[in-house]
Amino acid sequence: MASNGNNHVSTKPPPEPSPLRKAKFFQANMRILVTGGAGFIGSHLVDKLMENEKNEVIVADNYFTGSKDNLKKWIGHPRFELIRHDVTEPLLIEVDQIYHLACPASPIFYKYNPVKTIKTNVIGTLNMLGLAKRTGARSESSSLCFYSHRLLRSTEIHSCTLKTETYWGNANPIGVRSCYDEGKRVAETLMFDYHRQHGIEIRIARIFNTYGPRMNIDDGRVVSNFIAQAIRDEPLTVQLPGTQTRSFCYVSDMVNGLMRLMAGDNTGPINIGNPGEFTMLELAENVKELINPEVKIITVENTPDDPRQRKPDITKAKELLGWEPKVKLRDGLPLMEEDFRDRLGISRKK
């Protein structure tokens, strides 16, 4: 029997881990960090991740646009942790996967503090890559970093081409939206540099306009604006010219796409969005018909640098991930209406 060097011979086996620790060890074999997990897409992702009993989910959020309300059903759950944390500061924890979603996405929020927005994209992503590098180097499990990116913003007014992943973008570097657009571009560069230089496993999703329950009611984006306006009997404000297009993806489809990407072997970038394209006037007509046929539609001034057309080409997502969206706009809008009515306390007129 081996001596411990103090002439004391131990005959006792090492202590068994406590039943609590054992239970935790065997149940939760994937620790996942979701930055921005108290936000709109993040909180739906958390719901889905928590369905798997093998996942332990940690959310880091500074609550700038996210809210604890979105996570209230998980607070206190043994496999869930919530940290008030700003991703522009380093975070030292052990995780196996990172879904990095933290960043204000609505133009009114990101223009409110553009310096913070670009710091969130650049320094926030650096910090997450640093975390992935550290944990990847130390633990046996692979450490993945995932980064969400909206389509590179196009200011090509007459462009009517589909946006494939090879599109390099034509973004205004000095405009009011540049903090977001350029921040996302640099973040993608950082992701690939860490991947090439340090072997960090990465996934890049290019997320297109997403809608659904839990969007901030007054966050200024078009679907939430129109639905709140229709419920409050206020005119739907179509920004000129009204012929600009967007393609709207329901949040459950988005979350499934993000999880498929994480589970597969492709680094991306890969477009995740719904290719169904609508003009803002068509969207207003749909909201009017489905939610409040009495409501007026008016036109108002637009904001600078508003892209005129946006439609994802999702061939790659279909081929490589076997993913495509399922929820049609006309089915998703009523689901969002229900949530907005609950939160606004306004029920449907009889």
Ligand X SMILES: O=C(O)[C@H]1O[C@H](OP(=O)(O)OP(=O)(O)OC[C@H]2O[C@@H](n3ccc(=O)[nH]c3=O)[C@H](O)[C@@H]2O)[C@H](O)[C@@H](O)[C@@H]1O
The residues binding ligand X (CB under 6 A) are 105, 107, 150, 180, 209-210, 221-222, 225, 237-239, 244, 246, 280, 302, 306
The least distance separating ligand X from the CB of residue 12, rounded to whole angstroms, comes to 60
CB nearer to ligand X: give 83 or 281.
Answer: 281
The least distance separating ligand X from the CB of residue 328, rounded to whole angstroms, comes to 18
The least distance separating ligand X from the CB of residue 167, rounded to whole angstroms, comes to 15
CB nearer to ligand X: give 238 or 329.
Answer: 238
CB nearer to ligand X: give 55 or 121.
Answer: 121
Catalytic residue among 147, 180, 211, 250: 180
The least distance separating ligand X from the CB of residue 330, rounded to whole angstroms, comes to 18
CB nearer to ligand X: give 153 or 260.
Answer: 153
The least distance separating ligand X from the CB of residue 269, rounded to whole angstroms, comes to 14
Tell me, yes or no, if 99 is annotated catalytic: no
CB nearer to ligand X: give 185 or 221.
Answer: 221
Cα–Cα–Cα angle for 236, 240, 242, rounded to 5 degrees = 70
Q: Which residues have a catalytic role annotated?
A: 180
